[in-house]
Homo-oligomer: A and B are copies of this chain.
């Protein structure tokens, strides 16, 4: 992998796990064996530019993954279960957040940096758009489809946060039990 992608890849993981401020440049640099010169060569505006690059990268990844899962199931209901299963699996094996969530970044940066806020917003919008599209093919009106899509993202993201505090995957499992009722 080229240096730039390597940096984005490593930084993304660290940011998701520990948040933006908590992770120092030196920590990122050491983790991927790259020097400061290289970082500032590829990201002249430093740490925040790297973060935005991470968020954009995340957008590609998440969009792709969710889309393939969704395409592989006949209705949003089944697809949601599959997505939650994957989230739970990731959390149980890796022990940290790896997947479709980046709450740590949102909550500490949204009020502080406008460019970062916009990048996060675009990401969420994307996810909701995918859900909404599938819900429309399920037969929902476009209005209730986008409402439900928001409801989905919100509860998943919230459950993720509860999992973090409880050090358990139970919240996601509970959500998995209750979300299907939304589609009836």
Contact = CB atoms under 8 A, between A and B. Distances in A.
Given A151-B178, A155-B151, A177-B147, A161 B18 contact: no
- The majority secondary structure among interface residues of chain A is helix
A138 to B, nearest CB: 16
How large, as a class, is the contact surface on chain A? 35 or more
Interface in A153-181: 153-159, 161-162, 164-167, 171, 174-175, 177-178, 181
A108 B108 contact: yes
A33 to B, nearest CB: 23
Interface stretch (A4-12, A71-79, A81-89, A99-107): A99-107
A50 interface: no
Given A107-B104, A158-B158, A167 B117 contact: yes
Interface of A: 17-22, 96, 103-104, 106-108, 110-112, 117, 120-121, 124, 147-148, 150-151, 153-159, 161-162, 164-167, 171, 174-175, 177-178, 181-182
A154 B151 CA distance: 10
17 contacts: A21-B108, A96-B111, A103-B103, A106-B164, A107-B108, A108-B108, A110-B164, A111-B164, A120-B165, A124-B166, A150-B159, A150-B175, A151-B175, A154-B161, A154-B162, A156-B158, A158-B158
Given A121-B166, A158-B161, 5 more contacts: A22-B108, A108-B108, A111-B164, A151-B155, A157-B158
A121 to B, nearest CB: 4
B124 A165 contact: yes
Nearest to A17: B111
